[in-house]
Amino acid sequence: MRPLTRAAAFALGAVAGYAADARFADPRRGHPVALFGSAATRLERRVWRDDRAAGAGYTALCVGAVAAGALALDRTVGRRPLGRAALAAAATWTVLGGTSLTREARTIGRSLAAGDLTAARERLPHLCGRDPSALDGQQVARAVVESVAENTADAVVNALAWGALAGTPGLLAFRAVNTLDAMVGHRSPRYARFGWASARLDDVAGWPGARLTALLTVAAAPEPRTAWRVWRRDGSAHPSPNAGQAESAFAGAVGVRLGGTLRYPHEPKGAPEPRATSEEPPEASAEPRERVEHRPVLGAELRPVTVDDIERACTLSRRVGALALGTTVAGHVLLRLLFRKRRGGA
């Protein structure tokens, strides 16, 4: 029996990892991404400075360590086809979050459908970073649909796209980049400079997957023409170079209007440098304030979001994820064949 090629082993592992995420979702304890986040937090307490250079060094150290470790594992465990497939499966399961994403969204949807706005508001921070305290049911539903769209790109398609390009190291390195962006890449006084490098790196890493997400959303949409029209017209209106691609395509695919005013939780006006000996986050040195963003409307001619659209968005997300898996497997095999052919010709 002919042994598995390197590309076939990765493809087999990616399919197995995707199936594991669909069946088991994220582990509740000991998740590798959570362990990475804890280590990155401890490092941040030691190296934080209100300075871009310090943030760039922090980002390079965190992402570089993950990429180097993944590459070493790939070269060690991946010497045998079954080991290579098992490593790809474990990495794929680690980086994907599609099942947890839709479970959280559906939990909020059930609360809204039951008329329990309080429960829906309490659950929303598990899905996105907005302030739910003043949101009505329609606004919570809109936040859920927007989060499903954006996280379909980040938690599913982008990770798989980097797997297609760079195998197991690509999967894990992208998850490290995306996790750092969520931790320090947002616009707050503490991270405006320190988190700049993480945010810009995430923008670059997320560029291909965001466009692929939009294309796959159009392909999976009940009305592809509407999804295509809204995406091409409104995709670049979003302040993020990547989030607007997925959100505008989802708006057209689901047939709803997204965007508008967003409110984020209270953030400190300033924070001191964290103490190296402290395991607790530093306390704010000033009274908090609320951050409000007024974003362009995506799909302005479409109807407002309703509770039923949460399920539509979740179904669409799962379809896009399945298409992304197929694209990843085919793309990785094709790239490996082209690489082998070029090397053989040389």
Nearest to 229 by CA among 252, 246, 254: 252
Secondary structure class of 290 (helix, strand, coil)? strand
Q: Output the six-digit token pair for 343.
A: 């090397």
**Whole-angstrom distance, CA of residue 301 vs CA of residue 222:** 18
Indicate the burial class of 200 (C-beta count within 10 angstroms; 0-12, 13-18, 19 or more): middle
**Whole-angstrom distance, CA of residue 255 vs CA of residue 91:** 35
**Percent of the residues in the chain that have a pLDDT greater than 90, as a whole number:** 73
How many Cβ atoms are within 10 Å of 286's Cβ, its own excluded?
10
Residue type, 127: L
**Percent of the residues in the chain that have a pLDDT greater than 70, as a whole number:** 88
**Whole-angstrom distance, CA of residue 221 vs CA of residue 216:** 8
Q: Output the six-digit token pair for 275.
A: 């103490």
- Position 283 scores a pLDDT of 36
- Position 187 scores a pLDDT of 80
- Position 341 scores a pLDDT of 76
How many Cβ atoms are within 10 Å of 252's Cβ, its own excluded?
30
Q: What is the longest distance spanned by two Cα atoms in the chain?
A: 69
Nearest to 152 by CA among 319, 331, 338: 319
- Position 345 scores a pLDDT of 59
Q: Output the six-digit token pair for 227.
A: 């999804």
**Whole-angstrom distance, CA of residue 267 vs CA of residue 188:** 7
> For residues 86 and 13, is the Cβ–Cβ distance under 8 A?
yes
Residues of the chain with pLDDT under 50: 266-288
